[in-house]
Amino acid sequence: MRVVPALAGLMAVSAAGFGTVTVDDGRDDGAVSSSSRQAIGRPYAGVDAGSTNGTDISRSFNRQVYEEQRATQEEQLAIVAEQRQQVEQDVESYAEQVADQWVIPVTGYRLTAQFGQSSGLWSSGQHTGLDLAGPSGTTIVAAASGTVKTAAYDGAYGNKTSIVLDDVDPGNQTEMWYAHQSRIVVEPGQKVNAGDVIGYTGATGNVTGPHLHLEVRPGGGEPINPEQALQEHGVRP
């Protein structure tokens, strides 16, 4: 069989789309050998539809991006945790500073008796605190933060409030006594901060006139000079 020349061109075009096409040289079909066949067009050199090479590259890229994002998030979380820890430390430090700040418990006073003065006015013969004189009813505030231990009448001290301070050493906490009040406005167990109102000056107990008698007793023991204790906490009476 011989191919008509006009059809040869059509077959060549078809070969470009469908692969290899052979041209008969005129001999019988049974006599055609492989050497007589002429390849027309080139074989398809693209990636097979079933290939996973592109998918593998995509997955590898996505995992790399995920790992980078995860590392960035972990770094950010570490920074936030560090900042939070610093804030907590600052708050704790500020709380300690506030707890350690003292104030003068009354205003508009006159210092009429100092610690250690000798006189027959006191049963021990010596004054055990500071006397801050002023009009009866003057507001008394806590000189330092602490917890009210007692708030009641106490013989020569008259109406007295004792406050256990928020000292660093819980086993040896300082007590501060406020005596001769006309009125007490706190009760045992109550937490007070420096500057909170605890009562009003008066002339109850062993007195010669209205004033606040202030004592400082480390560990609840013997009194020390309140003026020195106040100065150690930034207050000068």
129 in the same domain as 95: no
The structural domain count of the chain equals 3
Task: Name the token pair of 114.
Answer: 């100092």
82-109: burial string, b at 16+ Cβ within 10 Å, e else: eeeeeeeeeeeeeeeeebbbbbebbeeb
On whether the CB atoms of residues 38 and 21 are closer than 8 A, the answer is no
Q: Do 147 and 218 share a domain, yes or no?
A: yes
Residue 157 to residue 204: CA distance in whole angstroms: 7
Query: Cα torsion at 120, 124, 125, 126 (round to 10°)?
Result: -120
> 56: pLDDT confidence band, cut at 50, 70 and 90?
low
Residues 117 and 188 in one domain: yes
Q: In this model, does residue 54 exceed pLDDT 70? A: no
Q: Which domain holds residue 17?
A: 5-36
Backbone angles phi, psi at 33, to 5 degrees: -105, 170
The torsion of the CA quartet 61, 66, 68, 71, rounded to 10 degrees, works out to -160
**What's the predicted TM-score (pTM) here?**
0.60
Q: What is the model's pLDDT at position 99? A: 56
Q: Same domain for 77 and 139?
A: no
In the predicted model, is pLDDT for residue 110 greater than 80? yes
Q: How many helices (H) and strands (E) does the chain have?
A: 3, 9
Q: What pLDDT, on the 0 to 100 scale, is given for residue 186?
A: 98
**To the nearest whole number, what is the mean pLDDT of the chain?**
79
Q: Is the model's pLDDT at 143 over the cut of 80?
A: yes
pLDDT over 90, % of the chain: 45
Pair (61, 159) in one structural domain: no
Q: What is the pLDDT of residues 74-108, one digit of tens each?
A: 989 999 988 888 888 777 666 666 556 799 999 99
Q: Which of 35-44, 143-152, 191-200 is the least confident region?
A: 35-44
